[in-house]
Chain A
Amino acid sequence: MKRSLFNLFAVLVILSLALAACGAPAVEEAPAAEAPAAAATEAPAAEEAPAAAVEKTAIVGFTASLTGKLNVESTRQNNGFKLWMDQVNAAGGVPLADGTVVKFDSKFYDDESNKDRVQELYTKLVTEDNADFLISPYSSGLADASAVIAEQYGKIMVTTGAASDSTYQKGYTLVYQAYTPASAYLTGSLDLLANADAAAKKIAIVHENDKFSTDVVTALEAYAIEKGYEVVLNEGYDSGTTDFAPIINKIPADVDAIMGGGHFADGQQFAKALSDKGVAAKFISLLVAPPEPTFAEIGDAAFGIVGPSQWEPLAAFAPDYGPTGAEFIEAYKAAFGEEPSYHAAGGYAAGLILQKGIETAGSLDVEAVKAAIDSEDMMTFFGHIKFDTSAENHGLQVGHSMVYVQWQKDASGALVKQVVWPLEGKTAETVYPIK
């Protein structure tokens, strides 16, 4: 009897772990959340509308991580995109060559931050919801899973919140990247370090074991070795890790810089653990988390941490298309009651890329819009936008570049973000060493 109980127990445990491994169990069975606006999107797709119609509706489909570990970044990205859509619709839509005007409507589902859900939901968006254009979900892993569906069904997809290079090296022709690619995410941190301290030589790389972070640190390590740095540790950690003490214990005491991280939750926890463990590195640069306003919730542990950002409110680009940075910030604050992060700006930029493509093409025809986006070369509030059109890297972002922020203290001792790199865009000197 006792033995059979244990056998039952063991089977149940293994079963539950297998289920857990498939994603967050709590939300796995939940029906996909639909946007309230979705009810209004039963109208036929824009191309099918009668030619005499003055107004067309183009449906933009995407999934958002309303639940799960990517919730923070995804929600902001979603907000940014929604703001773009509301503004372009309020301004009367985009005029086409045939005299009609196209307005936009969105259709989206909750992907639960789960890659397995993404392909199923994007297929649904294309085949059942008749989406005309697609925007990617947040994160490289999810975007990569969605891109293949866009390509298969011949839909143009603008990826945002997705920096991994490899998605654009698979021969896709309809997928366009809004972000600076991952390979360039942390290399600037190394340039910043070299500028601050030519004697710093030892760096430790600690990163999340996901596609995006691994792409970033692979490029970082190659760049570091090329520049003569010694990589004393290169350690990955599983997504969802909370206890970083065992990894931090592996970092040699005489390390000059620590770089890596992954996404928000783990990056924030890692920064906190580095401070709690009293690690004496002079320079720390982490992915994704530092530019988020809520990063400062960890208090003094945030001090000195550098992070690459696709965009910062402080950044003062002079756009030749779309709103200025100040206009975007003002509108975003009015709509959502918070300062926009780069995820939000990326969501808005994805809309601008689509809008410019449709405007230039003067139609909703996929081939025409593709040709128009291929030729885009514009300066927006988000930065320069231009795509690689070679067969090997089609859609890879080649115009945009990163800015690096550092959490510093203002005169009153409050934590504030400052742009410290590139030098021409800096708002403060780099604090170095931080310990």
Chain B
Amino acid sequence: MNAGMILTSLVDGLLIGVVYGIAAMGLNLIWGVMRVINLAHGALISLGMFGVYLLFSGLGLNPYLSLVLVALLGLLMGVLIYVIAIQRVINAPYLSTLLATFAINMIIIGLGTAAFTTTPRDIGFSLGNVELGPLTLQGTRLVAALVTLTVTAILYTFLYRTRTGKYIRAVSNNRAAAELMGIPSARILALSFGIGTMLAAIAGGLIATFFSFTILSGDLYQQKSFIIGVLGGLGNPLGALVGGLILGVLEGVLPLTMPNTWVPVIEFVLFIVILLVKPSGLLGGKK
């Protein structure tokens, strides 16, 4: 192991970590605002992948332009899912919303398997590599990291600088009090679910630019999102980004010192330790 290897692994870890971050952000936001564990999150990430794939391979649309369309479709779909499946059970015990999102997951995976099969797809898109000293950085991963950072900044500005964003935070903190202040909580919850879904679709679309995928691929990122959520602080979108970076760096650097199949073991041990020692996550919970 030399310094070049460590540096390469660190940068690779950071680049994939940013993408893990955006994948977890949607899950985190939905949990934070409405206390719903969205088990359809992975399937929605997969739909994001297929959205970009179909727009690129079918219509020849640039993947990053496709991403904008996919994000908008994700937002609409999220609102629709909320109105159809979540709204009626939002005040029921956690198990009801959990089962509702699980059912959506099964529907998406079932339809997706029928439509696309589970044959791996690859969009075959490349931006070439950037050479920086000992580092060889893949163009698509660099752009994915930049897009993620931009989306995070926009999300933060939206949540903290706009009236609607403040409504979302108010509903998140105390829905009853927010309603008493005249905030239309039903619409705000639908919008929040839409934004969460949009983030999942963006994550999927970005991942599709550098990894092959199937309709089942989102599941892996959903699992990682759980760990990231706990790591960074559930309900805290910035925490998701930090959690994603930590996970990415662990996955990048740990294999240098041990067989890579041990990495998930370390990750889940960390998951349990954080739950025991600091259950609100490294950056604190919902804000």
Closest B residue by C-beta to A243: B16
Q: Is the CB of A26 within 8 A of B106?
A: yes
B118 CB to closest chain A CB, in angstroms? 4
Asked if A71 meets B118 with Cβ closer than 8 Å, knowing A246-B255, A277-B138, A299-B126, the reply is yes
Known: A67-B113, A243-B211. A249 touches B124 (CB 8 A): no
A1-33 interface with B by 8 A CB criterion: 2-3, 5-6, 8-10, 12-13, 16-17, 20, 24-27, 29-30
Question: Does A249 lie within 8 Å of B256, measured CB to CB?
Answer: yes
User: B109 touches which one: A26, A249, A276, A294 (CB < 8 A)?
Assistant: A26
Check if A166 is an interface residue, CB within 8 A of chain B. no
User: How many A-B contacts at CB < 8 Å in the complex?
Assistant: 136
**Is A193 part of the contact surface with B, judged by Cβ < 8 Å?**
no
Partner of A250 from the list B226, B255, B275 (CB cut-off 8 Å) is: B255
Tell me the minimal C-beta distance from B18 to chain A in angstroms. Answer: 13
The residue on A at minimum CB distance from B254 is A246
Residues of B within 8 A of A277 (CB): 136, 138
List B contacts of A242 (CB < 8 A).
211-213, 217, 220
* A298 at the B interface (CB under 8 A): yes
How many angstroms from the CA of A236 to the CA of B13 in the assembled complex?
19
B259 near A240: Cβ-Cβ < 8 Å: no
A68-B118, A71-B118, A237-B260 known; A278-B129 Cβ under 8 A: yes
Assembly CA distance A2 to B94 (angstroms)? 14
**B275 x A10 contact (CB < 8 A):** yes
Does residue B120 face the partner (Cβ distance < 8 Å to A)?
yes
Query: CB-CB < 8 A to A243: which residues of B?
Result: 16, 211, 251
Given contacts A13-B226, A264-B120, A298-B124, contact A246 B251 (CB under 8 A): yes
Chain A CB within 8 A of B165 CB: no
From residue A6, how far is it (CB to closest CB) to chain B in Å?
4
**Range for the number of chain B residues in contact with chain A:** 35 or more
A67 to B226, CA, bound (A): 26
Question: Chain A contacts of B138 at CB under 8 A?
Answer: 276-277
Give per-residue flags for A223-244: 1 if the beta carbon is below 8 A from chain B beta carbons, else 0.
0000000000001111010110
Given A26-B216, A246-B9: A67 touches B118 (CB 8 Å cut-off): yes
In the complex, B119 has a CB within 8 A of chain A = yes
Is A69 an interface position by the 8 A CB rule? Answer: yes
Q: A314 to B145, alpha carbons, bound, how many Å?
A: 44
Q: Which residues on A sit within 8 Å (CB–CB) of B211?
A: 242-243, 269
User: Could you say which residues of chain A place their CB within 8 Å of the CB of B251?
Assistant: 243, 246
Task: Kindly report which residue of chain B lies nearest to residue A300, judged by CB atoms.
Answer: B126
State the CA gap A29–B109 with chains docked (Å). Answer: 12
Give a binary string over B1-36; 1 marks a CB under 8 Å from any A CB, 0 the rest. 000010011001100100000000000000000010
Task: Tell whether, in the assembled complex, residue A297 and residue B122 are in contact, meaning their CB atoms are under 8 Å apart.
Answer: yes
A13 to chain B, nearest CB (A): 5
Would you call A265 and B219 a contact (CB within 8 A)?
no
Please report the C-alpha to C-alpha distance between residue A238 and residue B131 in the assembled complex, in whole angstroms: 29
Nearest CB in chain A to that of B98: its residue: A12
Partner of A3, one of B35, B261, B268, B279: B279
The answer to whether A268 touches B120, judged by C-beta atoms less than 8 angstroms apart, is: yes
- Asked whether B260 lies within 8 Å of A298 as measured between CB atoms, the reply is no
CB < 8 Å: which of B119, B122, B219 contacts A72? Answer: B119
- B223 sits at the interface (CB 8 A): yes
Task: Assess whether B210 is interfacial by the CB under 8 Å rule.
Answer: yes
Near A by CB (< 8 A), chain B positions 203-220 give: 210-217, 219-220
Smallest CB–CB gap between A258 and chain B, Å? 16
Contacts of B210 in A (CB 8 A): 276
* Known contacts A71-B119, A240-B220, A242-B212; A247/B260 CB under 8 A: yes
Kindly list chain A residues whose C-beta atoms are within 8 Å of the C-beta of B194.
none
Interface string of A27-71 (1 = CB under 8 A from B): 101100000000000000000000000000000000000011101
The answer to whether the Cβ of A245 comes within 8 Å of any Cβ in the partner chain is yes
CB distance A26 to B110 under 8 Å? yes
With contacts A71-B117, A276-B129, A298-B124 known, what are 14 further pairs, Cβ within 8 A? A6-B234, A16-B39, A16-B223, A30-B110, A72-B119, A238-B264, A246-B12, A247-B255, A250-B256, A265-B214, A272-B122, A276-B138, A278-B136, A297-B122
Point out residues on B near A: beta carbons under 8 Å: 5, 8-9, 12-13, 16, 35, 37, 39, 43, 94, 98, 105-106, 109-110, 113, 117-120, 122, 124, 126, 129, 131, 136, 138, 210-217, 219-220, 223, 226, 230, 234, 251-256, 259-261, 263-264, 268, 271, 275, 279-280, 285
